[in-house]
């Protein structure tokens, strides 16, 4: 027996035989259990182990093996020995000779080693054996095992009946030749392919044993194997070349596949068409060759081969592989050797190339195996989020189309940044409308000025008033020093844009803080109260806060406010600050503790809302610092596409850049487009915004959101302030003049005499040549005739409208046409065979 | 509850491509069994087979839908070196009140290629009815139907030589007319060649030629490329299936010196080795926020955008439709952000490789002109 380890799937489900050295072992695959692999088991995959069923040792004389294809219960194996003896027996019998199971022996007349053994796949009681050369004897023998395996030996008696050695070969071929390999064809199972004398491939037919069916001279006479799926192909190899033969014309190989290293096994996959598999020495991958045989026209062209390499990820070089007989794509591999004691078996799935596609509605479809498609709705996949799903939902809810900006915010309540920017758009529009905020730039379309555009940039000429107030004057008697803040008219306007009240407006502050309290934003309200230097008010707010959140303790802490260098309050707060997680409380104490007008603790904390940071800056930063800070903040927000930046830029060109960055990061074309259309009406004709609009419309179309798209288009027209051009014109068939233009002019000439016909401007003839307009093909009335009293046509609906087939140009009242096509397929016009109604693909399969 | 519908495709061999129409209401499949099948959603939302026909005389590699504006039109390409354009027609009525039998008629057969045609795609509708094909001999061909009502007339507008055998093709789908047409092609040439295997071409109105803009530095064989829906972004995103999934941002930069030629700034936004093996296909969702891929690990994987330059794995589906538990996903780690200019190829895992050598063509079948 060769020392090379070989594997072969058993015809019995989930079992395989492994042999090599002097041992033959059969295994069964079972799901992995707890605990590591034991001596008798192997891990073959992530989920399964191979459990030993039985093993036969000391099988030194065995040279080759095959499993009876119809084995049941236990594998019947045929073993070719080194002395020309063939044993057919149950594996269990081999493992334990006292089992009483039957066995059968055949032998060649002259002793020499067997080289190859193969059961006939159809007449499976025939087993073909190839033998080494012996001058006066044949080298291929075919035995019949039926006498033994069909009728059972008298095993019940407990004796092994002596086998009649006279069981002779039924057919013999190849006198004085050396046979390397035998393999039956699967379809035409009477024919045997053999590799002979290291230089022939010969085909024998058992129905006519006297002659060779066909023969060819080639070096590649090793490992001759037939394709289970197609008798046409044959493969063989020598050294590092694989030959593929077409048995209809075996003179020349149809392909020679060169390999880098010498080959040790070639085989066809039984579950795939024309898939050849090869294994080279010292490799841990197998090569798969898909043989394509196209016919172009009636002419058959040379087959072409596609290679694929499958790495089986073994630690040792592979020694053998076996494709599963029925499970597609399943390949078993062996590596290592018995003698080294290191054996590696892998049960591997070679996945077919999967293809996939995604529908506009996030339905994923992919191929699984070669016969099935799988489709799944990603919306229902746990943990799956996708902005397109949100866009869909919002589009259906008329998001962005609401007349009032703040109502749009309600549609995006789940997105804080989006809803706050809609609210800001509402606020800024209101402020501009009421005249409380005016824009220095003359452009009247700037309904949404940003903080930067409201501020007067010429601060050298118009410096802000600096107000310095000692803390003591503010009612904090144990405080030293003073607080400095800045005032100017444009600063106050900018504060309003941050939704903060004007600094001295105590009433405004109170109502603002009350709304915040209603929203349970206690810490924010308290912080803003402190920023307005109303510390008692802040304590009041904190006291109102929910007890369980501990705001009242913060209030108590605040009450002891003292900014003296060495006060205990200051020391304590400095250490406690680090432990505060609420950004507003932190900012509040940070502000009170800050010296030297360094307010980084407020201005640089990104957890604090942009409007609050800007509001704070507007009060406490000097002109120069303020501009620096706002410009820096604005460009930062623009670059990272944070929508809050719009509060600074307003609807100036940088705002478009900001939206572009927002879009690039989030793929939220919807909000980008809607904000651009609503807040940047003067940019509507810029390339960028036009492109967004186009993309958003395309998206809605793809979802078949026709009505939503139409609503969007209507809104667009309102902002574009231009009348959309008509898409359809009617011209007279006789004179070719435009009728719709005439109808339009009628409308403008309110006092025209022709207009007495009524308000609907109905015409029944061409105003230019007086010829009648087209007729409805069903009722033969000309267009423009009122048919309100005819069969259930209501004048208000589309029923009365004219429609035409775009292919044959016949048409009529839409109601008539629809009724006609309910019962007919062809056009109602005599002699016209146009299938007008079916030309458009509309409904799903019926 | 997550559910997975199984459709018995009734193909006799491997399915190479599946493609949705514009609305996602119909699908077309093609296979090695030389058949093309069209499926429609019935009233219960299940896919039902409505047409099936033998389209080619060898494996059909790809099938693709034209924009519905041009009718119900499919294009297929095959190993038999041809490309076919199909149109659905309505046959005779089985009886009054019933819909006529629909079948697909071959409108044209494009036979210019001398080797297997590996991909075919319709151009964006703004450019009219255009068809791009690429073949194993390394030629991109652009066809156009000058009259959209007559699908049997196609003229070969351009032939672009690429030198490497091509495996896949993608049009930049931007609906904007002012964007010049752009095509990306990939090569699955198995040997690592210097210079890369993904090429970007752009049509220049001035020279009336397709010019190569860039070669992406991907040296492993490329099996699929897909442009994301443009969606008004300033840059284009290209998904590439090679030994891993790559997401590449292509930013057009204004070039004042040269006339009309766009330059592209290339940045690898993300690279995912999650498949840990060859990646076969990539596709985008409707707004280019999610990329799906399939690979040799037998899984479909989803990746989602976090920002311009960072993406994260969003989910894994096994081939049979089970979701891989999220714990596994977590183990795959956070986002991978590849700084520009790093040698991405060296990070790539090489544990499993599938190589398609392409066709071993006979020397007698050398292309000639």
Mapped to the 3 state alphabet, what secondary structure does A273-291 carry? CCEEEEEECCCCEEEEEEE
Of B2, B17, B298, the CB nearest to A381: B2
Nearest CA in chain A to B16: A355
What mean pLDDT do residues A213-229 have? 87
Within 8 A by CB and 6+ apart from A492, the residues are: A502, A503
* Euclidean distance between CA atoms A610 and B36, whole angstroms: 57
A116-125, A241-250, A412-421, B174-183: range with lowest mean pLDDT: B174-183
Compute the mean pLDDT over every residue in chain A, rounded to the nearest whole number: 82
Of B23, B232, B361, the CB nearest to A360: B23
Compute the mean pLDDT over every residue in chain B, rounded to the nearest whole number: 82
Query: Is pLDDT larger for residue A748 or for residue A474?
Result: A474
Query: Is pLDDT larger for residue A202 or for residue A734?
Result: A202
The shortest C-alpha distance from B280 to chain A (Å) reads 7
Q: Which fold has domain B12-91+100-161?
A: Methylamine Dehydrogenase; Chain H (2.130.10)
pLDDT tens-place string over residues B195-250: 789 999 999 888 889 999 889 999 888 999 999 998 889 899 999 999 899 999 99
CA neighbor of B168 nearest in space, from B37, B17, B295, B59: B17
How far the first Cα of chain B sits from its last, in Å, is 58
Query: Is pLDDT larger for residue A308 or for residue B287?
Result: B287
Residues of chain B positioned with their CB less than 8 A from the CB of A374: 4-7, 319-321
The shortest C-alpha distance from A328 to chain B (Å) reads 11
Within 8 A by CB and 6+ apart from A434, the residues are: none
The verdict on a CB contact (< 8 Å) between B175 and A698 is: yes
Tell me, what's the pLDDT at A565?
Answer: 72
The verdict on a CB contact (< 8 Å) between B352 and A313 is: yes
The shortest C-alpha distance from B171 to chain A (Å) reads 16
* Euclidean distance between CA atoms B11 and B37, whole angstroms: 9
The verdict on a CB contact (< 8 Å) between A845 and B3 is: no
3-class DSSP assignment, residue B350: coil
* Euclidean distance between CA atoms A148 and A141, whole angstroms: 18
Tell me, what's the pLDDT at A369?
Answer: 76
Query: Is pLDDT larger for residue B5 or for residue B332?
Result: B5
Residues of chain B positioned with their CB less than 8 A from the CB of A699: 231, 286-287
The shortest C-alpha distance from A768 to chain B (Å) reads 33
Strand pairing partners for A752? Answer: none
Residues of chain B positioned with their CB less than 8 A from the CB of A845: 40-42, 48, 50
Chains A and B form CB pairs within 8 A to the count of 289
What mean pLDDT do residues A320-342 have? 83
Tell me, what's the pLDDT at B75?
Answer: 96
Of A102-116, A382-396, B134-148, which has the strongest mean pLDDT?
B134-148
Examine the predicted complex and report whether its ipTM is higher than 0.90: no
* Euclidean distance between CA atoms B55 and B27, whole angstroms: 16
The shortest C-alpha distance from B215 to chain A (Å) reads 24
The shortest C-alpha distance from A600 to chain B (Å) reads 28
The shortest C-alpha distance from A26 to chain B (Å) reads 29
Tell me, what's the pLDDT at B258?
Answer: 55
Nearest CA in chain A to B91: A835
The verdict on a CB contact (< 8 Å) between B14 and A370 is: yes
pLDDT at A739 over 80: no
pLDDT band at A824; cut points 50, 70, 90: confident
Tell me, what's the pLDDT at A98?
Answer: 64
pLDDT at A658 over 50: yes
Q: For B180, which DSSP code?
A: P
What values do phi and psi take at A99, rounded to 5? -70, -15
Nearest CA in chain A to B10: A371
How many C-beta atoms surround the C-beta of residue A89 within 10 A?
25
Tell me, what's the pLDDT at A812?
Answer: 85
* Euclidean distance between CA atoms A718 and A449, whole angstroms: 21
Tell me, what's the pLDDT at A221?
Answer: 86
* Euclidean distance between CA atoms A192 and A184, whole angstroms: 4
Percent of chain A whose pLDDT exceeds 90: 13
Query: Is pLDDT larger for residue B303 or for residue A170?
Result: B303
**Helix or strand (DSSP H, E) at A716:** helix A706-720
Residues of chain B positioned with their CB less than 8 A from the CB of A366: 18, 294, 300, 317, 319
pLDDT at A846 over 70: no
3-class DSSP assignment, residue B75: strand
Residue pointed to by tokens 């406690």 = A576
Query: Is pLDDT larger for residue A486 or for residue A752?
Result: A486
The shortest C-alpha distance from B367 to chain A (Å) reads 15
Strand pairing partners for A166? Answer: none
Tell me, what's the pLDDT at B257?
Answer: 55
What mean pLDDT do residues B99-108 have? 81
Of B2, B29, B280, the CB nearest to A382: B2
Residues of chain B positioned with their CB less than 8 A from the CB of A839: 90
Of B72, B93, B99, the CB nearest to A846: B99
The verdict on a CB contact (< 8 Å) between B290 and A388 is: yes
Within 8 A by CB and 6+ apart from A798, the residues are: A814
Of B10, B12, B230, the CB nearest to A695: B230
Where would I find the beta strands (DSSP E) of A38-145? 41-43, 48-56, 62-67, 76-81, 85-90, 103-107, 114-119, 126-131, 138-144
- Best probe of the A interface among B63, B116, B287, by most A CBs < 10 A, is B287
The verdict on a CB contact (< 8 Å) between B298 and A383 is: no
The per-residue b/e assignment along B309-332, b for 16 or more CB within 10 angstroms, e otherwise, is bbbbbbbbbebebebeeeeebeeb
How is chain A split into domains, by residue range?
6-349, 465-621, 729-773, 774-846
The shortest C-alpha distance from A727 to chain B (Å) reads 17
A335-339, A484-488, B215-219, B287-291: range with lowest mean pLDDT: A335-339
What mean pLDDT do residues A208-223 have? 84
pLDDT at A430 over 60: yes
- Best probe of the A interface among B71, B119, B285, by most A CBs < 10 A, is B285
Of A355, A664, A699, the CB nearest to B234: A664
pLDDT tens-place string over residues B24-69: 989 999 998 899 999 998 888 889 898 899 999 888 999 999 998 8
The shortest C-alpha distance from A726 to chain B (Å) reads 20
Whole-number CA gyration radius for chain B: 21
Within 8 A by CB and 6+ apart from B275, the residues are: B244, B245, B293, B295, B296, B297, B299, B301
Residues of chain A positioned with their CB less than 8 A from the CB of B250: none
Of A243-252, A420-429, A764-773, B132-141, which has the strongest mean pLDDT?
B132-141
Percent of chain A whose pLDDT exceeds 70: 88
Tell me, what's the pLDDT at B350?
Answer: 33
The verdict on a CB contact (< 8 Å) between A307 and B88 is: no
Tell me, what's the pLDDT at A614?
Answer: 92
Residues of chain A positioned with their CB less than 8 A from the CB of B280: 353-355
* Euclidean distance between CA atoms A445 and A651, whole angstroms: 9
Distances in whole angstroms, Cα of residue A557 to Cα of each of A188, A542, A567, A588, B25: 98, 10, 13, 12, 65
* Euclidean distance between CA atoms A604 and B143, whole angstroms: 58
The verdict on a CB contact (< 8 Å) between A382 and B355 is: no
Nearest CA in chain B to A660: B233
The verdict on a CB contact (< 8 Å) between A368 and B353 is: no
3-class DSSP assignment, residue A796: coil
CA neighbor of A284 nearest in space, from A316, A240, A242: A316
Residue pointed to by tokens 């599938």 = B354
Tell me, what's the pLDDT at A39?
Answer: 66
Tell me, what's the pLDDT at B327?
Answer: 42
The verdict on a CB contact (< 8 Å) between A307 and B356 is: yes
**Which pair of tokens denotes residue A709?**
């798209």
What mean pLDDT do residues A10-34 have? 84
pLDDT at A304 over 90: no
CATH class of the domain whose range is A6-349: mainly beta
Tell me, what's the pLDDT at A442?
Answer: 46
Residues of chain A positioned with their CB less than 8 A from the CB of B72: 841
**Which pair of tokens denotes residue A438?**
């005016």
The verdict on a CB contact (< 8 Å) between B298 and A349 is: yes
Residues of chain B positioned with their CB less than 8 A from the CB of A696: 232
Burial class (CB in 10 A: 0-12, 13-18, 19+), A118: buried
Residues of chain A positioned with their CB less than 8 A from the CB of B98: 825, 846
Tell me, what's the pLDDT at B180?
Answer: 85
The per-residue b/e assignment along A336-368, b for 16 or more CB within 10 angstroms, e otherwise, is bbbeeeebbbbbbebbbbbbbbbbbbbbbbbbb
What values do phi and psi take at B103, rounded to 5? -145, 165
The verdict on a CB contact (< 8 Å) between A294 and B307 is: no
The verdict on a CB contact (< 8 Å) between B298 and A380 is: no
* Euclidean distance between CA atoms A816 and A357, whole angstroms: 42
pLDDT band at A795; cut points 50, 70, 90: low
The verdict on a CB contact (< 8 Å) between A373 and B47 is: yes
pLDDT tens-place string over residues A679-723: 888 888 888 999 999 999 999 999 999 999 999 998 988 888 777
Residues of chain A positioned with their CB less than 8 A from the CB of B305: 665-667
How is chain B split into domains, by residue range?
12-91+100-161, 196-204+214-355
Tell me, what's the pLDDT at B333?
Answer: 39
Tell me, what's the pLDDT at B283?
Answer: 95
């Amino acid at each position: 027996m060769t020392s090379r380890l070989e594997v072969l799937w058993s015809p019995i489900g989930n079992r395989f035989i492994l042999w090599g050295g002097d041992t033959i072992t059969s295994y069964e695959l079972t799901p992995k259990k707890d605990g590591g692999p034991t001596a008798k088991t192997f891990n073959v995959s992530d989920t399964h182990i191979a459990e030993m069923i039985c093993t036969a040792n000391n099988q030194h004389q065995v040279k080759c093996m095959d499993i009876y294809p119809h084995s049941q219960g236990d594998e019947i194996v045929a073993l070719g020995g080194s002395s020309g003896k063939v044993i057919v027996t149950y594996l269990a019998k081999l493992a334990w000779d006292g089992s009483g199971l039957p066995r059968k022996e055949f032998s060649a007349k002259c002793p020499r080693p067997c080289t190859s053994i193969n059961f006939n796949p159809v007449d499976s009681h025939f087993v073909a054996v190839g033998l080494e050369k012996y001058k006066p004897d044949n080298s291929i023998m075919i035995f019949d095992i039926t006498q033994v395996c069909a009728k059972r030996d008298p095993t019940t008696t407990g004796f092994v009946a002596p086998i009649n050695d006279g069981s002779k070969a039924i057919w013999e071929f190849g006198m004085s030749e050396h046979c390397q390999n035998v393999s039956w064809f699967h379809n035409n199972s009477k024919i045997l392919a053999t590799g002979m004398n290291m230089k022939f491939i010969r085909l024998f037919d058992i129905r006519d044993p006297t002659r060779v069916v066909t023969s060819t001279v080639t070096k590649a006479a090793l490992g001759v194997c037939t394709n289970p799926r197609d008798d046409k192909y044959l493969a063989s190899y020598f050294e590092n070349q694989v030959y593929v033969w077409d048995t209809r014309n075996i003179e020349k190989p149809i392909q020679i596949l060169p390999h880098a290293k010498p080959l040790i096994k070639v085989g066809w996959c039984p579950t795939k068409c024309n898939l050849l598999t090869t294994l080279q020495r010292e490799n841990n991958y197998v090569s798969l060759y898909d043989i394509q045989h196209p016919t172009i026209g009636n002419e058959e062209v040379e087959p072409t081969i596609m290679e694929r390499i499958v790495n089986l990820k073994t630690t040792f070089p592979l020694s053998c592989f076996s494709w599963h007989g029925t499970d597609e794509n399943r390949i078993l591999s062996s590596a290592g050797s018995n003698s080294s004691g290191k054996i590696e078996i892998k049960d591997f799935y070679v996945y077919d190339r999967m293809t996939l596609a995604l529908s506009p509605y996030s339905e994923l479809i992919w191929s699984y195996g070669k016969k099935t498609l799988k489709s799944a709705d990603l919306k229902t996949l746990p943990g799956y989020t996708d902005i397109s799903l949100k866009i869909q939902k919002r589009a259906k809810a008329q998001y962005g189309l609401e007349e009032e900006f703040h109502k749009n915010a309600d549609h995006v309540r789940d997105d804080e940044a989006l809803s706050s920017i809609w609210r800001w758009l509402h606020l800024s529009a209101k402020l501009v409308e009421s005249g409380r905020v005016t824009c220095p730039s003359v452009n009247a379309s700037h309904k949404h000025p940003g903080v930067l555009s409201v501020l007067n940039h010429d601060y050298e000429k118009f410096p802000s008033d600096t107000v310095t107030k000692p803390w003591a004057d503010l009612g904090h008697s144990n405080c030293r020093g003073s607080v400095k803040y800045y005032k100017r008219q444009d600063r106050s306007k900018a504060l309003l844009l941050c939704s903060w009240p004007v600094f001295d407006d105590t009433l405004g502050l109170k109502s603002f803080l009350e709304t915040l309290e209603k929203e349970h934003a206690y810490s924010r309200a308290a912080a803003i109260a402190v920023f307005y230097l109303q510390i008692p008010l802040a304590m009041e707010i904190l006291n109102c806060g929910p007890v369980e959140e501990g705001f009242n303790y913060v209030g108590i802490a605040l009450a002891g406010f003292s900014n003296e260098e060495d006060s205990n309050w200051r020391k304590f707060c400095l250490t406690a600050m680090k432990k505060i997680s609420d950004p507003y409380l932190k900012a509040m104490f940070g502000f009170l503790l800050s010296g030297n007008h360094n307010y980084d603790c407020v201005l640089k904390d990104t957890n604090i809302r942009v409007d609050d940071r800007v509001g704070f800056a507007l009060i406490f930063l000097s002109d120069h610092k303020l501009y620096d800070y706002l410009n820096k903040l604005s460009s930062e927000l623009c670059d990272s596409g944070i929508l809050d930046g719009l509060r600074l830029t307003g609807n100036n060109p940088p705002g478009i850049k900001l939206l572009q960055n927002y879009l690039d990061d989030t793929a939220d074309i919807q909000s980008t487009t809607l904000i651009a259309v609503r807040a940047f009406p003067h940019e509507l004709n810029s390339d960028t915004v036009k492109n967004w609009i186009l993309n958003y419309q395309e998206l809605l179309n793809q979802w078949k959101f026709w009505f939503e798209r139409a609503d969007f288009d209507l809104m667009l027209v309102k902002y574009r302030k231009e009348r959309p051009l008509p898409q359809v014109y009617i011209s007279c068939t006789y004179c070719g003049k435009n009728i719709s233009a005439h109808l339009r002019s009628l409308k403008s000439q309110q006092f025209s005499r022709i207009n007495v016909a009524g308000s609907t401007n109905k015409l029944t003839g061409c105003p230019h040549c007086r010829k009648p307009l087209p007729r409805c093909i069903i009722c033969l009335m000309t267009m423009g005739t009122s048919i309100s009293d005819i069969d259930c046509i209501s004048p208000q609906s589309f029923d009365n409208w004219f429609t035409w087939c775009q292919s044959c140009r016949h048409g009529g009242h839409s109601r008539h046409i629809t009724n006609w096509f309910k019962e007919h397929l062809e056009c109602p016009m005599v002699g016209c065979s146009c299938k007008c109604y079916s030309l458009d693909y509309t409904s799903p399969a019926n | 509850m997550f559910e997975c519908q199984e459709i018995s495709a009734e193909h006799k061999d491997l399915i190479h491509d599946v493609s949705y129409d514009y609305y996602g209401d119909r699908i077309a499949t093609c296979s090695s069994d030389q058949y093309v099948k069209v499926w429609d959603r019935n009233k219960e939302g299940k896919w039902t087979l409505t047409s099936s026909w033998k389209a080619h005389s060898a494996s059909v590699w790809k099938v693709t839908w034209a924009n519905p504006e041009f009718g119900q039109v499919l294009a297929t390409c095959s190993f038999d070196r041809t490309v076919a354009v199909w149109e659905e027609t309505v046959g005779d009525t089985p009886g009054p009140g019933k819909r006529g039998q629909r079948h697909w008629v071959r409108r044209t057969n494009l036979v210019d290629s001398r080797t297997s045609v590996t991909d075919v795609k319709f151009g964006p509708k703004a450019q009219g009815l255009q068809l791009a094909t690429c073949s194993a001999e390394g030629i991109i061909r652009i066809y156009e139907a000058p009259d959209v009502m007559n699908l049997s007339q196609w003229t070969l507008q351009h032939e672009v030589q690429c030198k490497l055998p091509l495996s896949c093709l993608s049009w930049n789908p931007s609906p904007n007319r002012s964007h010049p047409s752009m095509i990306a092609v990939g090569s699955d040439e198995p040997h690592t060649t210097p210079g890369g295997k993904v090429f970007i071409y752009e049509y220049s109105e001035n020279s009336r030629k397709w010019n190569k803009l860039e070669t992406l530095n991907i040296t492993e064989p490329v099996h699929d490329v897909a442009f994301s829906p443009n969606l008004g972004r300033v840059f284009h995103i290209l998904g590439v299936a090679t030994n891993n999934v790559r997401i590449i941002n292509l930013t057009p930069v204004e070039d004042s010196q040269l006339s009309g030629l766009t330059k592209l700034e290339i940045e690898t936004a993300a690279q995912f080795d999650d498949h840990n093996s060859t990646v076969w296909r990539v596709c985008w969702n409707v707004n280019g926020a999610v990329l799906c891929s399939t690979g040799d690990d037998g899984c479909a994987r989803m990746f989602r955008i976090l920002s311009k330059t960072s993406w994260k794995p969003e989910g894994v589906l096994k081939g049979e439709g089970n979701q891989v538990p999220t714990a596994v996903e977590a183990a795959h780690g956070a986002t991978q952000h590849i700084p520009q200019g790093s040698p991405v190829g060296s990070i790539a895992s090489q544990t499993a490789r599938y190589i398609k050598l392409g066709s071993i063509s006979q020397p007698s079948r050398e292309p000639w002109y």
